[in-house]
């Protein structure tokens, strides 16, 4: 009986302008790398086909070079690929798909399903019912026709669609491109493979979102997988196994610092940062000069290892200790200003005084460091 890979939401051509140029290029390149991995996994697992449930491309306007590179990345698997358009790459009269065809970029083993159809692979024992998007947003369930579609007796029925299963995803997503939650049952499908939700998600035993094979945002919804689906017989629940494909791990950290041991905890965590990490870090609280210096050193080291590390220290206040102030050797007028600010820290203007003291201490520390380096 058939086995296949189910994937979706490749978003090839997506740009990451929020990152430094070299980081953004590497993260975008990883999306093509994920396709290479998919082709390898398809070959290693001897699947009968690979189903791609929409949003292969991020936009209709990707460069011709990007189209050619995508289909080149798929060449590692020579069996059938069945691709449908999603909302990002809908099958418009003029689209990324029509350009791909004009470029002769599509290999013979790749089927672009640009209209609803039944694609039968009788020798492999299955038929695919497709529901491609022909415009970015629809308000009718494009999978409804599956219910009345005929397939040859004995063939496993597989549905392929792109949209939001009603009542399952977040309310703000359950709008355009709706899909009935019981479609697998009403259409007598052995498996319904969906795209649009970028994380791995089981709707029911026969209905799954594969998610995107390479993470592209900081939402923790289990991206970075492809689904290996094995159907052992008609009417038997499919066996679905997630296989990891993602290169980069995206994460957002928030860390509060109140005492030096809090900083030690963060420093230890930063020591584990690897070259596949894409991190956003927000640090809040307060630290003295020594603690801040150690933290900055750890951040510099982690930034050199990570693919991308974005740090926000705007909510971390510098609160100099007695030892810090003594080490700065501020005398005369500056000494008087520091003394006044420290007195004000216990009054109604404590917040302003603390902020000013932190700024002054930081300037003095930078000046002292510059004098040492000279």
| pLDDT confidence of residue 318 | 78
Residue recorded with tokens 């019912």: 129
Domain 3-244, classified CATH 3.60.21.10, yes or no: yes
Query: Are residues 228 and 45 in contact, defined by beta-carbon separation less than 8 angstroms?
Result: yes
- pLDDT under 70 in the chain at which residues? 169-175, 324, 327-335, 345, 350-351, 354-355, 358, 361-362, 364-374
Residue 106: exposed, middle, or buried by beta-carbon count in 10 A (0-12, 13-18, 19+)? middle
Domain ranges of the chain: 3-244, 249-373
pLDDT at position 373 is: 52
Q: What is the pLDDT of residue 102?
A: 97
The encoded tokens of residue 134 equal 């022909």
Number of helices followed by number of strands (H, E) in the chain: 9, 17
- CA quadruple 355, 357, 359, 365: dihedral positive or negative? negative
pLDDT score of 218: 87
Residue pair 85/132 in contact (Cβ under 8 Å)? The answer is: yes
Quick one: pLDDT at residue 331? 63
Token pair 């050619």 in the structure block, residue: 68
- b (16+ CB within 10 A) / e for 187-206: bebbbbbbbbbbbbbebeeb
pLDDT of residue 317: 83
Q: What digits encode the pLDDT tens for the residues 140-167?
A: 999 999 999 999 999 999 999 999 998 8
Per-residue CA distances from 371 to 328, 363, 366, 367, 368 (Å): 12, 12, 9, 6, 5
Q: What's phi and psi for 138, nearest 5 deg?
A: -130, 160
* Residue 349: Cβ within 10 Å count: 12
DSSP states of 283-306: EEEEE-HHHHHHHHHHHHHHHHHS
Closest CA to 35 of 88, 2, 75: 75
pLDDT of residue 174: 44
């Amino acid at each position: 009986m058939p086995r296949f890979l189910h994937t979706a939401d490749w978003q090839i051509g997506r740009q990451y302008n929020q990152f430094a140029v070299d980081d953004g290029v590497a993260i975008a390149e990883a999306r093509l790398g994920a396709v290479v991995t998919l082709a390898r996994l398809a070959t290693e697992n001897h699947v009968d086909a690979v189903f791609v449930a929409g949003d292969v491309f991020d936009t209709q306007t990707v460069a011709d070079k990007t189209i050619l590179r995508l289909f080149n990345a798929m060449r590692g698997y020579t069996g059938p690929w069945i691709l449908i358009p999603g909302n990002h790459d809908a099958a418009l009269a003029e689209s990324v798909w029509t350009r791909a065809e004009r470029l002769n970029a599509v290999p013979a083993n790749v089927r672009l399903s640009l209209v609803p159809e039944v694609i039968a692979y009788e020798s492999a024992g299955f038929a695919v019912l497709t529901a491609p998007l022909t415009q970015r947003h629809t308000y009718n369930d494009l999978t409804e026709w599956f219910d009345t579609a005929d397939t040859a007796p004995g063939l496993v029925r597989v549905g392929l669609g792109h949209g939001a299963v009603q009542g399952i995803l977040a309310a703000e997503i359950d709008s355009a491109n709706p899909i009935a939650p019981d479609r697998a049952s009403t259409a007598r499908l052995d498996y319904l493979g969906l795209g649009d939700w970028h994380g791995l998600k089981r709707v029911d035993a026969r209905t799954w979102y594969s998610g995107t094979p390479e993470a592209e945002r900081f939402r923790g919804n289990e991206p970075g997988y492809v689904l290996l689906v094995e159907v052992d017989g008609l009417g038997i629940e499919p066996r679905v196994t997630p296989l990891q494909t993602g290169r980069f791990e995206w994460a957002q950290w928030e860390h509060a610092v109140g005492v030096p041991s809090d900083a030690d905890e963060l420093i230890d965590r930063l020591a584990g940062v690897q070259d596949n990490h894409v991190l956003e870090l927000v640090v809040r609280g307060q630290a003295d000069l020594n603690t801040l210096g150690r933290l900055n050193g750890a951040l510099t080291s982690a930034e050199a290892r990570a693919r991308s590390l974005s740090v926000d220290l705007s909510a971390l206040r510098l609160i100099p200790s007695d030892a810090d102030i003594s080490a700065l050797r501020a005398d005369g007028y500056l000494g008087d200003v520091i003394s006044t600010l420290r007195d004000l820290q216990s009054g109604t203007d404590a917040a302003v005084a603390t902020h000013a003291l932190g700024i002054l201490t930081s300037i003095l520390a930078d000046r002292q460091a510059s004098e040492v380096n000279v």
